Amino acid sequence: MLTTESPRKWQTYFDRARSSVARESTLEVRGTLTRLAGLVLEAKGIQVPVGSQCVVTMKSRPSVLAEVVGFSGDRAFLMPAGDVYGLSSGAGVAAAPAYVPVPRLGDESPVEDMADSGMLRLPLGEGLLGRVVDSQGTPMDRLGPIADVSSLPLNRKPINAMDRDPVREPLDTGVRAINALLTVGRGQRIGLFAGSGVGKSVLLGMMARYTQADVIVVGLIGERGREVKEFIEDILGAEGRARSVVVAAPADAPPLLRMQGAAYATAIAESFRDKGKHVLLLMDSLTRYAMAQREIALAIGEPPATKGYPPSCFAKLPQLVERSGNGLHGVGSITAFYTVLTEGDDQQDPIADAARAILDGHIVLSRTLAESGHYPAIDVEQSASRVMHNVVSREHFELARRFRAIYSKYEKGRDLVQIGAYAQGSDPAMDEAIALHGSMGQFLQQDMYEAAAMETTVSGMASATSRDHV
């Protein structure tokens, strides 16, 4: 039975079908591989835009997918997404087949512009929940093909800054020290700054288990392959995995795939945010993303700048980070935590310094605290949340300010106290700090399997700094 909606549906169907067959038809242009130097391939005879996907083929070995990352005159620079062992000069280089969507009756989405047909498209959708995929959307969990997904472009247009709602709602992370002194707002971007082996992966796992979010997207970028399965089984668990998507691009992956993995994890988070969901994005690590860009940029001849990092590294970081945050007009949000590896525990490392400037706050993990058995090893003196004053009550903010003042007072006089050079009674503020140090330290520590609700934060902080302990 035909309804008034039927003619419109048929018209949309025919428009989409006409668009699919009416695209400009051209002969396939094939180039030739002329040079392989380090990580980069050079090809002649092919003209494709930067960001396009190409296929390098030889009769004696499987084809290799590569992405155009630059050009010079008639030479195209390509970065392979797979092993180049066995390639030789003269191999064929051709643009990857264009993606042509199949028109379906009743599909109300607008007719696609096929101008980006050569750009990378990866699966996005509800079917990714509970799955572990690599940078190319291929399942790694041996659970079969992924259903209920659509192939969509990886690159998306940035949101107009005036269309985003400001961060106004607090987010319960389940970590007492963060809830109390570094309160995170829904839609905030914050960095976890730490050297190696001080507990940043465990802290990420705690937030993955306890943070109030509809969907969790985890990007394991450039880290140890061993951590992938451990993070999923030991940290996420069955309950956390059901609402999570894990994108893994371990350290042995080519630099193109490491960068692509970070962009893919962000695109997955964006797709869920656009559906009105509150997403928690955990990316480990932003430094490995920058290192992958450094490898690519240096390979194609970009000059190094600060500590070997070319300028493009510092341009790529904000482009990635700015994609998270609140959605259009407050519909959906992405609260993002990016780990930043500080080489040699140097907080002035160029990537750490750049990340601190573009993020909405930073949580610094201290090796000294970790070595003393204080977990999570959050250095509250060096850490800050730039939106805390907008998302907590005045009582909470004043208690946090008092807590910080007392904690800092003790740290400044710690050496005098430990060597017995401080005479009690000479400074009332120091006397108070010494008396409260035990209860405050206990308040900041938390077992990795213990959740600390936001509701108990203010009362717990008030109790830890109560003058009854003096």
- Label each residue of 271-289 as H, E or C: HHHCCCCEEEEEEECHHHH
Residue 104 is predicted with a pLDDT of: 53
Compare 199 and 381 and report the one with higher pLDDT: 381
Task: Please spell the DSSP secondary structure of 162-191, one letter per residue.
Answer: GGBPPP-SEE--S-HHHHHHSPEETT-EEE
Is there a contact between 120 and 53 (Cβ–Cβ < 8 Å)? yes
The tens digit of pLDDT for each residue in 125-181 reads 999 999 999 999 999 988 899 988 988 888 778 888 888 889 999 999 999 999 999
Is there a contact between 458 and 466 (Cβ–Cβ < 8 Å)? no
Burial group, residue 264, by CB count within 10 angstroms (0-12, 13-18, 19+): buried
The tens digit of pLDDT for each residue in 439-461 reads 999 999 999 888 899 888 889 99
Q: How confident is the model at residue 29 (pLDDT cuts 50, 70, 90)?
A: confident
The tens digit of pLDDT for each residue in 372-415 reads 989 999 999 999 999 999 999 999 999 999 999 999 999 999 88
Q: How confident is the model at residue 316 (pLDDT cuts 50, 70, 90)?
A: very high
Q: What is the pTM of this model?
A: 0.86
Tokens linked to 122:
């990866």
The tens digit of pLDDT for each residue in 423-435 reads 888 889 999 999 9
Domains of the chain: 33-84 (2.40.10), 127-391 (3.40.50.12240), 396-465 (1.20.1270.330)
Residue 115 is predicted with a pLDDT of: 46
> Above 50 in pLDDT, residue 111?
no
Q: Does an H or E element contain 370, and which?
A: helix 367-371
Is there a contact between 298 and 70 (Cβ–Cβ < 8 Å)? no
Residue 209 is predicted with a pLDDT of: 86
DSSP 107: -
Is there a contact between 122 and 146 (Cβ–Cβ < 8 Å)? no
Distance CA 106, CA 100 (A): 18
- Mean pLDDT on 332-351: 85
Q: How confident is the model at residue 121 (pLDDT cuts 50, 70, 90)?
A: confident
Q: How confident is the model at residue 13 (pLDDT cuts 50, 70, 90)?
A: low
Tokens linked to 449:
């399997």
Residue 27 is predicted with a pLDDT of: 55
Residue 275 is predicted with a pLDDT of: 92
Distance CA 246, CA 235 (A): 12
Burial group, residue 351, by CB count within 10 angstroms (0-12, 13-18, 19+): buried
